[in-house]
Amino acid sequence: AQSVTQLDSQVPVFEEAPVELRCNYSSSVSVYLFWYVQYPNQGLQLLLKYLSGSTLVKGINGFEAEFNKSQTSFHLRKPSVHISDTAEYFCAVRGFNFNKFYFGSGTKLNVKP
């Protein structure tokens, strides 16, 4: 079975500062990894995904994430955040041979002016 851990429930950061949101997963099989963003009272939108190939994945809104198989991590980064990045971010994992997606508990990013 797969599981996802997001260690930080909230991350406060000032505008234009860099940010890293941490995600670790556990799986006995190879996985696909995803980051989603959720704005208040909305569904989840895909930010980026890792399926195979380059371990550095670039997504929308200037976000990127790096897949590290040895550390079973898929941390999300942005070099300079904006107020509009304030939202909740979810890491997710899907096993190659399963129809299920498992999500972390989410990290609330609060960008302050």
Using CB under 8 A, list all residues that contact another protein: 6, 32, 34, 36, 41-46, 49, 51, 90, 92, 94, 99-106
Q: How far apart are CA 69 and CA 31, in angstroms?
A: 10
Two tokens, residue 27: 């799986």
Q: Toward another protein, which CB reaches closer, 47 or 81?
A: 47
Q: Toward another protein, which CB reaches closer, 80 or 110?
A: 110
Which residue has 């979810």 as its token pair?
Answer: 90
> 3-state class of 60 per DSSP?
helix
- Smallest gap from Cβ 105 to another protein, in A, equals 4
- Smallest gap from Cβ 32 to another protein, in A, equals 6
Q: Toward another protein, which CB reaches closer, 9 or 80?
A: 9
Q: Toward another protein, which CB reaches closer, 23 or 81?
A: 23
- Smallest gap from Cβ 101 to another protein, in A, equals 5
Q: How far apart are CA 105 and CA 52, in angstroms?
A: 24
Helices first, then strands: H and E counts in the chain? 0, 12
Q: How far apart are CA 85 and CA 62, in angstroms?
A: 10
- Smallest gap from Cβ 80 to another protein, in A, equals 27
